[in-house]
Structures are given as structure tokens and as C-alpha cells.
Amino acid sequence: MIKKEINIAFEEFESINKLEEKDQLLCKEAVKALENSHSPYSKFRVGVAVKLASGKIIYGSNQENVAYPSGLCAERVALFAIGANYPDDEIVSIAITAQTNEFNILQPITPCGSCLQVMAEYEKKQSKEFDIFLYCVNGPIWKVKGVNNFLPFLFFEDRLNKG
């Protein structure tokens, strides 16, 4: 038996004003995206802003449904909209934030496994990693470079090849 380890890396910033100005702006756009969250069931709003190489900002927010599994996370709402509408634009960075009236969120919200898998697909498609900012309004901000730092064992296309 050989024990193996994988290290993942991310940066922590104590507040938004410690980020580069362009990243501060994207985090603030993610807060705007919260307004369109449809989350009557969880009462947990998630907002996402994605910056494209063209300069466009695409927004996403969680969209819940009375048939619970039919809803979708904010990250995939934004990424699928980009895939469908701006397939040739490049994703540069993503900011994700969350808000609820039920309690104070004091730690960054990390994307679910399905959203990470979808992010990985678009990174692979554009052959370039993007920066992911987890913006906690009342706590630290994490900057993660590339989905690999979240999900080192993600499902790769190569796994579909038998030979």
C-alpha cells in the first residue's frame, strides 16, 4: 500500500477591499444577481456573476421549483446561459455569493459537486482555467484558481475511452 496525497490551493482575503479592483466589481455584481433568486423553498439566495473576455457580465441565481429536483443552482444557471448564448466567448472569472434572512452566513459558500463538474466542462472546452471567487459578505473571501483545486478527482473525458 502506498499512501498518496493531493494538495489543493486557494487564497483567502479578509475583506472585499483586499481584492484587485476588477475582482471587487465582479463580487458586487454577484450581490446584484441575488435579487433574481427564486428560492421560496430554501429561502437561501445564491448569486453568481461571470465575467467574459468580451467584458460582458452574465448573471445567475438559484431557481427553485415546487418539484424540488427540477430547480437549478445559480452557478449552472449562469454557465448554461453562457454555453447557449455566448459559446465562443471566454470565461475569465466567476464570483459566487449567498444570502439568507434565516441566519448569518460567515463562511464562503462553496459550489456543489454538480456545479463543479459543469465548471470543469467549460474550462476544458476553452482550454483555460478561470478564477473563482467565493464572496462571503460578512466573512473571508476565497479565490480559487481552476476547478481542479476544488475537484482534483473529477470525471474526465479520457475515462470514456476504453482503449
Q: Which is nearer to ligand THU, 24 or 99 (CB)?
A: 99
Q: How many residues bind ligand THU (CB under 6 A)?
A: 14
When asked if residue 115 is in the footprint of ligand THU (CB under 6 A), the reply is yes
In the set 5, 12, 64, 75, the catalytic residue is: 75
* Residue ranges in 1-30 that form contacts with ligand THU under rule CB under 6 A: none
Range in contact with ligand THU (rule: CB under 6 A) among 12-20, 28-36, 39-47, 140-148: 39-47
> Can you give the three-state secondary structure of 96-127, one letter per residue?
EEEEECCCCCCCCCCCCHHHHHHHHHHHHHHC
Three cell numbers, residue 22: 476588477
Three cell numbers, residue 142: 476565497
Strand 44-52, strand 91-100: pairing:
antiparallel
When asked if residue 111 is in the footprint of ligand THU (CB under 6 A), the reply is yes
E-only strand ranges, the chain? 11-13, 44-52, 57-61, 91-100, 131-135, 141-145
Closest contact distance (angstroms) between CB of 102 and ligand THU is 11
Three cell numbers, residue 128: 483555460
Q: What is the DSSP letter of 147?
A: G
Asked whether 133 and 27 are in contact (CB, 8 A), the reply is: yes
The number of beta carbons lying within 10 Å of the beta carbon of residue 6 is 8
In the annotation, is 75 catalytic? yes
When asked if residue 75 is in the footprint of ligand THU (CB under 6 A), the reply is yes
When asked if residue 42 is in the footprint of ligand THU (CB under 6 A), the reply is yes
> Using CB under 6 A as the criterion, what x/- string covers residues 55-74 for binding ligand THU?
-------x-x------x-xx
Range in contact with ligand THU (rule: CB under 6 A) among 18-26, 38-46, 82-90, 147-155: 38-46
What residues make contact with ligand THU under the rule CB under 6 A?
39, 42, 44, 46, 62, 64, 71, 73-75, 109, 111-112, 115
Question: Could you give the residue numbers annotated as active site?
Answer: 75
